[in-house]
Structure 1
Amino acid sequence: MSDYPTLEEMGITSFEDISKYSLRRQSDADVLKIYYKRPKGSLLSRSKKFTFAHPRKSIPLQFRSGEKWDSLKDSSPRLQSAVAELKKLTAEPAALPPEDLKARFLEDLNHLETVVNSKIDELRRQIENMK
């Protein structure tokens, strides 16, 4: 039996490659994105996205946009279980020293720069192909 049954049910098998995850709320769903450590040139995806629909509630429309509506939204039990397993997988043993923290921020910044530049290049190619 696996230590991460929910993640396994979701089709995730390379637990040791998971580097981080993010969770965001959209109007009608929670979106969980799992990021992987991959070597340069790898053809495997660097992330996977999972969407969990919010359960429907019979609450009057005028209350749905308010503060109280947000507190009434329930996350999927499967999502809660997956996040608990991801927290175990990505738990940091202790606070990083400032040097390591600086290196991590620089690494994140470099990754962001690569992603943005890649997207800009893709958009430029699409524009060029419009002629």
Structure 2
Amino acid sequence: MSEQYPTLAQMGITSFDNISRYQLRREGRADVLKIYYHRPKGSLLSRSKKFTFARPKSLGPVEFQKTEQWHQLEDTSPILRQALLELHRLLGSEAHTADETTADTKQQLLADLEHMERVMQDKLNELRRQIEALK
């Protein structure tokens, strides 16, 4: 299957059948691609992988860099563009309405929030145990 998705394979992705979705966002002068996987409960494998693609340094005047046209320029990595094409082909063209996309985003944000709360609570409990051990 890696011959069907050479860019994803080059990025180190091997579990093509387990990919559930992906997310692309911009952080400063980089594009961040996050790929999420279906994992059974209790699995030790990661639920996501994050890839960062730096954007080239700007060559335009500072005034132009602050405009909307500047942010719409196609200065993304060719590897990222190819990976997005492969992900789109892999996951199919699942057409979502705006309401479905909003609901999916809300569900994911709530799941991320719950996960973060569990992680923080575990860390706080660990720190409390370490403090108690010092007494």
Residues 62 and 94 (structure 1), Cα distance of their counterparts in 2 relative to 1, 3 Å cut: closer
Does 2:82 correspond to 1:57?
A: no
* Number of the residue aligned with 2:80: 79
1:98 aligns with none
Q: Is the 8 A contact 1:33 1:50 kept in 2?
A: yes
How many residue pairs get aligned? The number is: 125
Deviation at 1:120, TM superposition (A): 3.5
TM-score, scaled relative to structure 1:
0.77
Aligned residue for 1:12, secondary structure, equals coil
TM-score for the superposition, normalised by structure 2:
0.75
Task: Kindly report the root-mean-square deviation, in angstroms, between the aligned alpha carbons of the 2 structures.
Answer: 3.0
Unpaired segments ≥5 residues, structure 2: none
Distance 2:45 2:19 in 1: 13
Q: Which moved more, 1:118-127 or 1:46-55?
A: 118-127
Distance 1:19 1:68, change over 3 A: same
Cα distance per residue 1:32-60 (max 9 Å; x no partner): 00001111111111100000011223111
Supply the AA of the counterpart residue of 1:37.
H
Deviation at 1:114, TM superposition (A): 3.4
Separation in 2, partners of 1:55, 1:38 = 35
| Offset, 1:94 | 7.0
Cα distance, 1:127 vs structure 2: 6.2
Q: Is residue 11 from structure 1 mapped to residue 12 from structure 2 by the alignment?
A: yes
Secondary structure of the corresponding residue to residue 40 of structure 1: coil
* Deviates most, 20-29 or 64-73: 64-73
SS of residue in 1 equivalent to 2:81: helix
The aligned residue for residue 121 of structure 1 is 121
> How far apart are residue 11 of structure 1 and its match?
0.5
* Identity percentage of aligned residues: 45
1:124 CA displacement: 3.0
> Cα distance, 1:123 vs. partner?
5.2
CA–CA distance in structure 2, aligned partners of residues 121 and 44 of structure 1 = 21
- C-alpha contact (below 8 Å) 1:22/1:32 kept by paired residues: yes
User: Which SS does the other structure have where 1:34 is aligned?
Assistant: strand
